[in-house]
Structure 1
Amino acid sequence: MHSEQPWEKLNEGFYTGNPAAYFRRRQFLLVLAATRMRELDEFLEQGISFEGIELKLEPSSDIDNETRLHQAFLVAESEILLHHASEALIRLFLGHEGRPACPWIECSALREPRRFREEVDRLAANTWAPERRREIGHVFLGAAPDEPGEEWNDAVDAVIMLLRLLSKNLNEDANMYNAVKHGMTVIPGEAYIGLSDDSGQAVLGHRGLSVAFLESTKVGKERTWRETTKWCSVPRTLWLIDLALRQMEALWIIASARYVGKPAKGVHVITKDAVRLATTGELASGAPVKRFSRIIGIEQL
């Protein structure tokens, strides 16, 4: 008599979910806010209610202040969504890599911060092991042929480029994301920086949407605190979110077919050119300064 393994039930439950759909809805709401903010405000000023909870936005006559608030929301929410979606995609990839019996268990085991950070460092590296390239094919394309052709290699290279870029972003923006999660202790908005030479002549300057936050480094018994400003491009961030979600959708379609036998519809294959749009193409940040930190104090521990 066949006895059902415990992870079979877990897999059945796990793949009734749809993580990409959750992030897609957040993406839609964010783009809606970016493109229809005034109309949304007018709608909210009329009042909305849900299960006895009534909300109403008070009209404002200060247009400049409303514009600043809208910009602050867009830059903060887009950065938060990119970080959250990137981390989810990477955890799902790591949980499905090697085709384990129960990816849900593997993903849950990655909750130990140090282990996940080590994995992100490996994904951010400039070179990957050949075995991991093959796993990219299994997880995101459904198979890894013994003699891969140019089309397969290009598709795998595009996914690797994206995962490497998202992993580097996770590392660089870890302190910013923690500041958001722990009390929303960031200042989103617009910032300006100007640098001059010894004669006082301006040599470099940039103004744009940004996020400011505090971060620290510890050496021995001293902790150095810095105020860091990161300049952001909302279009670039939205593009990376979209690429991450396309890969999340592909992973989920293939895994659902592999583990619980759901019909496998076609998956979207991203291209290297699509990733390059955010690194060297028209969506890449052309700002001369992308991040600036200044020391604000040294704490004796």
Structure 2
Amino acid sequence: MIGNKPGNGNTDRKTAPQLATEQYSELNATFYVSGGPHEYIRARLQAIIFTLTDSEEAEKILDLGLNVGPLRGQASMRMSEEARARYAQMESTVLLHHAGESLLRLWFAHKESSLCPWLAVASLTSARDFKIEAEKYANADTSHMTADDIASVFLGGRTPEEAGVAIPKESWEDSVNGFRELLRVVADQITGQANLYNAAKHGLVGIPADHGDVNLGDIRVAGGIGITYLQKKPNDPANHNSPRSWWATTSFPSLATDLFLIELIIRAIHSLWNVARRKFAGFPGELVLISHDEVLTAKAIGPIADQRPVQDLSQKLPTYTDGSGPQRFAAVELSANAIRLGPEMLRAYERISGSSNEIAFIDLPLRQADRRKPSTSGNQFFHFSPHGSSEV
């Protein structure tokens, strides 16, 4: 577990007093009474979809202007198709990272069976520790993510019977594998594309542009909208402590892959949140299943549709040659990161490509252990606590 011990929130047990466990019922009720992070992420996903749509209704909506309470604003002009495409690429890049990090942080906090997950999430303040933990999940070896842990956090129990849900065994096992692979893919995305995300988010210094077809010789290796940013990379890729040089990198993230992964992340957080909400606040809910094929297809759909084998291209910024004065430059250096789609990924893509199955919501009913009798106490720790959640 990264950060401080879940449910405590104290940085030094020798000097800080122990938090009162009686307050956890109020904190848990407050945390889970909200709709959950997946609602916010879905609203942002819908904003991307709205911006991209060619429907005439979108322009009519913008013509209505801004009307929020007493605030009134003039109509907003519809952006050009090119500007909307650039926005969608940048926003989907940022949203995928934001949503993925939220999923991982919630997973870290809930898999340890913390008494107060809100405190556990809030204690994950070290970016370095988070990255180290995320890198463990990015590896191909997922044996440390046990089926019991995955099922308990995302499905409500180690088995359908324990969770109290009506899910066939085959669908249950497939969904466990789907959630596991999604965690791995998200961790790999976050740790491998951190520089791209930072460029897109911090100061908007990642520059989106349509690059048309990018060819090496007669072979098209990339193309479409790419995001170009500057970064320092070690001269020796195998040694992160080696001297660094400036490079200009153009990444070609796939909009289709990003949006598909964001949708799967929303479903995963939806399920995790409803499981925790039932456990800690006594509310029934629903689950949303994720298949293993869906996660693999999400990674494959973009590169296959874009017909490109390269994820990003980098060029070292020119430098003067030693002792030659300002008129001579060092040789141009180029590097590229290839996209690797394994046979399992391609087979998954073939199995579900073109399908349009509706998202299935599975009832998550209250079990006897989840039922809570509202408190009639007039005492409570916090002004924001929901009525009946106090234990004092």
Q: TM-score range by the shorter chain?
A: 0.7 to 0.9
Query: 1:20 — aligned with what?
Result: 38
Aligned counterpart in structure 1 of residue 150 of structure 2, from 106, 126, 136: 136
- What letter corresponds to residue 135 of structure 1 in structure 2? D
Aligned counterpart in structure 1 of residue 48 of structure 2, from 18, 21, 30: 30
Aligned counterpart in structure 1 of residue 313 of structure 2, from 269, 292, 301: 292
CA deviation digits over 1:124-168, x for unaligned, max 9?
111134564321111001111499955433221111111111111
Using a 3 Å threshold, how does the CA distance of structure 1 residues 67 and 130 change in structure 2: closer, same or farther? closer
Query: 2:280 — aligned with what?
Result: 259
Query: 2:105 — aligned with what?
Result: 91
C-alpha contact (below 8 Å) 1:225/1:298 kept by paired residues: no
CA deviation digits over 1:169-195, x for unaligned, max 9?
111211111112221111113124221
Measure, in 1, the Cα distance between the counterparts of 2:132 and 2:147.
18
Aligned counterpart in structure 2 of residue 214 of structure 1, from 225, 230, 250: 230
Using a 3 Å threshold, how does the CA distance of structure 1 residues 174 and 298 change in structure 2: closer, same or farther? farther
Does 2:31 match 1:11? no
Measure, in 2, the Cα distance between the counterparts of 1:145 and 1:220.
47
CA deviation digits over 1:251-280, x for unaligned, max 9?
0000000111112x3311111111121234
- What letter corresponds to residue 269 of structure 2 in structure 1? M
Using a 3 Å threshold, how does the CA distance of structure 1 residues 297 and 258 change in structure 2: closer, same or farther? farther
- The alpha carbon displacement at 1:108 in A equals 1.1
Q: Which moved more, 1:134-143 or 1:210-219?
A: 210-219
Structure 1: stretches of 5+ with no match in the other structure: 61-65, 197-201
Measure, in 2, the Cα distance between the counterparts of 1:52 and 1:183.
28
Measure, in 1, the Cα distance between the counterparts of 2:317 and 2:252.
19
Query: 2:196 — aligned with what?
Result: 176
Does 2:91 match 1:77? yes
C-alpha contact (below 8 Å) 2:89/2:253 kept by paired residues: yes
Aligned pair count?
286
Structure 2: stretches of 5+ with no match in the other structure: 1-19, 163-168, 235-239, 321-392
Q: Which moved more, 1:148-157 or 1:161-170?
A: 148-157
Q: Which moved more, 1:106-115 or 1:152-161?
A: 152-161
Measure, in 2, the Cα distance between the counterparts of 1:130 and 1:175.
27
Measure, in 1, the Cα distance between the counterparts of 2:198 and 2:208.
14
Query: 1:195 — aligned with what?
Result: 216
Aligned counterpart in structure 2 of residue 159 of structure 1, from 174, 179, 182: 179
5 Å-filtered alignment, 1:241-260, equals 241-260=262-281
Using a 3 Å threshold, how does the CA distance of structure 1 residues 46 and 9 change in structure 2: closer, same or farther? closer
CA deviation digits over 1:88-134, x for unaligned, max 9?
11111111012110111111111210111011111111113456432
Using a 3 Å threshold, how does the CA distance of structure 1 residues 53 and 184 change in structure 2: closer, same or farther? farther
Measure, in 2, the Cα distance between the counterparts of 1:130 and 1:146.
22
Using a 3 Å threshold, how does the CA distance of structure 1 residues 185 and 9 change in structure 2: closer, same or farther? same
The sequence identity of aligned pairs, in percent, is: 28
C-alpha contact (below 8 Å) 2:160/2:172 kept by paired residues: no
Does 2:249 match 1:228? yes
Cα RMSD for the two superposed structures: 2.8
- The alpha carbon displacement at 1:77 in A equals 1.1
- The alpha carbon displacement at 1:31 in A equals 1.0
Higher helix share: 1
Normalised by the size of structure 2, how large is the TM-score? 0.66
Using a 3 Å threshold, how does the CA distance of structure 1 residues 78 and 59 change in structure 2: closer, same or farther? closer
Greater Rg by CA? 2
Measure, in 2, the Cα distance between the counterparts of 1:72 and 1:250.
32
- What letter corresponds to residue 57 of structure 1 in structure 2? S
